[in-house]
Amino acid sequence: MLQALIGLIVSVVIAVNSCEMPRRADKAALWADPAGDAAAFAGMPERPVLDIVGIRAEGRDGSLHLTTRVRDGLEGFFAYTDRKGNKYGDVLVEFFIDSDNDPATGGSPMWRDEADRRLEGYDYSAYVALGFHYFDRATGSGRLVSGSEVLDTSVADVTGGLATFSLWRVLGEFSRQGVLSEPGRMDSTFEDFTILGYDSVEIRIPYPLLGVKKGDTIRLCYKEVAQSSASAEGISDDRYLVLR
Ligand SMILES: [Ca+2]
Ligand SMILES: [Ca+2]
């Protein structure tokens, strides 16, 4: 009887939670992403895919913190080398940020379905990418690659995995401007803004780069890139976040 009562109470709590107003702004935004929805690479069924299972967004201490968690950890991704000796970087996730919470400013993702007017008004997008530190034998120098790049291990010695991100200002449909473009190519300072965990990547975007401040409300969504890079597949629902 007691167990049945507890079960009933749990059911009621779950029901109440699932009825939350979707437009409510929270201090932290959480998305549970389905496992198993990331597509294998064409012709490379053994190559690990980056299957997102959770996203957390929080504005605190002067920065927007975006944490992406993947299924099965990142170890297999970084360890994978194909038969030709190539290693592969990849884009993990793209975030869309409506920094002024105004659908009339900014733009939309390029692959927006004409029928989906929801994807309007984003002012920034941020790509989170994974790659490698390596030692280039030809030049005798340390370098790094990230994103959709191939590293030939016959000419380079991999020294570690890394995460980077780039930030873009959305000016309108098909138009954008780099705010922090390709940080992986510049120097190692991006590492102050990324935390690479066992199964997660956290990036930190300082408020001034987004033109926001403490107390502002922003709107966010993300795209799980492993689903498809050229369509609206994998784009999440919107959440509203109060910056602290
Ligand atoms: Ca997923
Ligand atoms: Ca906007």
What pLDDT does residue 136 have?
93
Task: Write the DSSP assignment of the chain as a string of letters.
Answer: -HHHHHHHHHHHHHHHHHT--TT-EESEEEEEPPTT-SPPBTTBTTSPP--EEEEEEEEETTEEEEEEEETT-SHHHHH---TTSEEE-EEEEEEEEETTS-TTSSB--TT--TT-TTS--B-EEEEEEEEEEEEETTTTEEEEEESS-EEETTTEEEEEEEEEEEEEEEEETTEEEEEE--GGGT-GGGGGGEEE-SSEEEEEEEHHHHT--TT-EEEEEEEETTT-SSSSTTB---EEEE--
- Ligand 1 centroid from CA 38, angstroms: 6
- Cα–Cα distance between 14 and 8 in angstroms, integer? 10
Q: Is the pLDDT of residue 235 over 70?
A: yes
Domain range list for the chain: 22-84+91-131+162-242
- Ligand 2 centroid from CA 92, angstroms: 24
Task: Copy the structure tokens of residue 161.
Answer: 């995995």
- Ligand 1 centroid from CA 49, angstroms: 10
> Closest-lying ligand to the alpha carbon of 101?
2
Q: Is the pLDDT of residue 5 over 50?
A: no
Q: Among 19-28, 52-61, 234-243, which is the least confidently predicted range?
A: 19-28
Q: Could you list which residues have their CB under 5 Å from ion ligand 1?
A: 33, 37, 51-52
What pLDDT does residue 196 have?
95
- Ligand 2 centroid from CA 213, angstroms: 15
- Cα–Cα distance between 52 and 72 in angstroms, integer? 10
> Closest-lying ligand to the alpha carbon of 216?
2
**pLDDT tens by residue, 13-54:** 444 444 444 467 889 999 999 999 998 888 899 999 999 999
What pLDDT does residue 1 have?
47
- Ligand 2 centroid from CA 108, angstroms: 10
**pLDDT tens by residue, 166-215:** 899 998 777 888 888 655 454 545 677 999 999 999 999 999 999 999 99
- Ligand 2 centroid from CA 171, angstroms: 10
- Ligand 1 centroid from CA 43, angstroms: 21
- Where does the pLDDT of residue 101 fall: very low under 50, low under 70, confident under 90, or very high at 90 and above? very high
Q: Is the pLDDT of residue 83 over 60?
A: yes
> Closest-lying ligand to the alpha carbon of 68?
1
Give the residue-averaged pLDDT of 145-173.
91
- Ligand 1 centroid from CA 58, angstroms: 20
What pLDDT does residue 113 have?
59
Bridge partners of residue 163, in order along the sequence: 130
> Closest-lying ligand to the alpha carbon of 119?
2
- Ligand 2 centroid from CA 101, angstroms: 5
- Ligand 1 centroid from CA 103, angstroms: 27
What pLDDT does residue 233 have?
73
> Closest-lying ligand to the alpha carbon of 236?
1
Q: Among 8-22, 83-97, 111-125, 168-182, which is the least confidently predicted range?
A: 8-22
Dmax (CA) for the chain in angstroms is 74
